[in-house]
Structure 1
Amino acid sequence: MTGWSDATIWTIIVALGVGTFTIRFSFLGLLGDRDLPDWLLRHLRYTAVAILPALVTPMVLWPNATGGQTDPARLTAAILALAVGYWTKNAIATIATGLAALFALQALGV
């Protein structure tokens, strides 16, 4: 175990909760009813495009399920999903293709 007291753990939990609330409130509470400048809205459009690949890439190239070794099934499913996403511009179709390809390739033993 960690050796921390219950009071220390609860203090950490409350501090993290207050910090999370403060971060979210700074955007929603303070800026929620105001119009944002055009330059900021233009940059915010690219947030998902920047964050999603950063979240997915390590899970494709160094998955925990294979001990950090690149898996051909995951790599192939990611490439298929990328192609479908580029072609259709549809997030649901992209996710469904990647999921179906990964399960099919793993079932085939690739």
Structure 2
Amino acid sequence: MENVSDLTIWFVILILGIGTFLIRWSFLGALGDREMPQWVMRMLRYTPVAVLPALSAPLVMWPAATGGQPDLARLSAAAVTMLVGMFTRNIILAILGGAATLFGMLYLLA
């Protein structure tokens, strides 16, 4: 690795900070007080439903704790979380049920 000067590192940090600020401001500052079209609001309702499974699926299917191999404890916890959430429509109960299943299965399988 070649030597990089302190000035270059601070310049990159500054530019990335400004870029991050502008990206966030474009949504919050520029559009925050405007009325959004109804079709945009309808589409935004589905964002959490699309993002949360995309974030959690790799952690269930290829967990780093098992070297990327699926295991019964995590698959069981995901199934219980999904079933409790579907039947109760309560996110807290779904999370608690999945957590209890994960810890219980890890204890039983250890």
Q: Scaled by the length of structure 1, what TM-score is found? A: 0.91
Q: How many residues align?
A: 110
Distance in 2 (alpha carbons) for counterparts of 1:91 and 1:7: 47
Q: Structure 1 pair 14/77, CA: closer, same or farther in 2 (3 Å)? A: same
- Stretches of structure 1 that go unaligned for 5 or more consecutive residues are none
Distance in 2 (alpha carbons) for counterparts of 1:8 and 1:96: 47
1:108 partner letter: L
Say which SS state the counterpart of residue 30 (structure 2) adopts: helix
Say which SS state the counterpart of residue 30 (structure 1) adopts: coil
- Structure 1 residue aligned with 2:79: 79
- Structure 2 residue aligned with 1:43: 43
Distance in 2 (alpha carbons) for counterparts of 1:4 and 1:63: 35
Distance in 1 (alpha carbons) for counterparts of 2:2 and 2:46: 40
CA RMSD of aligned residues (A): 1.5
- Stretches of structure 2 that go unaligned for 5 or more consecutive residues are none
Q: Deviations over 1:3-28 (max 9, x none)?
A: 43322222222222111111111111
- Structure 2 residue aligned with 1:90: 90
- Structure 1 residue aligned with 2:6: 6
1:72 partner letter: L
Q: For residue 69 of structure 1, report the CA deviation from its aligned partner.
A: 0.5
Q: Scaled by the length of structure 2, what TM-score is found? A: 0.91
